[in-house]
C-alpha cells in the first residue's frame, strides 16, 4: 500500500501521497468490491466538498477578503483534490480487474453498492 501523510489544516485535510496506489486483493471478490466501492464513494464526496470550498476561496480573490492565506488555501485544496482524483482513478482501474460476480444474487448486490 502507498504511504500517506495526512493532517488537518484549517478545516480540510492535507494530503501527500504517491499516485501509484496498490490495492491488495483479499481473494474475496465481494469484500474487495465493497472496499473499493466505499473508497471510491468517499473520495468522490471529498472531491465534491473540495470543489465547493475552492469555488468559495476563488470568489474571494480580487475582493477585500483576498489574502495570501486565501490563495494558499486554493493551492493546497486544489493539490489535495488532484491527489484524490488520481487515487480514485487507480481505485476505478482496480475495480475493473476484479472478476465478475458468478451468481445473480452477487450481481444484484454489486449493483446496489
Name which residue leads in pLDDT, 105 or 33: 33
Q: How far apart are CA 100 and CA 21, in angstroms?
A: 22
pLDDT over 90 (residue 86) = yes
55 is a domain residue? yes
Lowest-confidence region among 14-18, 53-57, 76-80: 14-18
Looking at the structure of the chain, the number of domains it has is: 1
| 27 inside domain | no
Which domain CATH number covers 70?
1.20.58.70
% of residues, the chain, pLDDT over 90: 53
Q: Is 113 inside a domain boundary? A: yes
**Which structural domain, as residue segments, surrounds residue 107?**
39-113
How far is C-alpha 69 from the chain's CA centre? Answer: 24
Is residue 57 assigned to a domain?
Answer: yes
Tens of pLDDT, residues 58-84: 999 999 999 999 999 999 999 999 999
pLDDT of residue 109: 60
Amino acid at each position: 500500500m502507498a504511504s500517506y501523510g495526512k493532517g488537518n489544516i484549517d478545516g480540510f485535510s492535507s494530503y501527500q501521497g504517491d499516485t501509484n496506489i496498490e490495492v491488495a486483493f483479499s481473494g474475496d471478490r465481494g469484500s474487495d468490491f465493497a472496499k473499493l466501492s466505499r473508497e471510491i464513494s468517499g473520495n468522490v464526496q471529498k472531491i465534491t466538498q473540495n470543489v465547493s470550498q475552492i469555488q468559495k476561496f476563488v470568489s474571494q480573490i480580487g475582493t477585500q477578503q483576498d489574502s495570501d492565506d486565501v490563495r494558499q488555501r486554493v493551492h493546497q485544496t486544489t493539490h489535495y483534490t488532484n491527489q484524490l482524483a488520481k487515487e480514485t482513478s487507480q481505485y476505478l482501474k482496480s475495480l475493473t480487474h476484479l472478476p465478475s460476480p458468478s451468481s445473480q444474487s452477487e450481481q444484484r448486490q454489486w449493483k446496489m453498492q
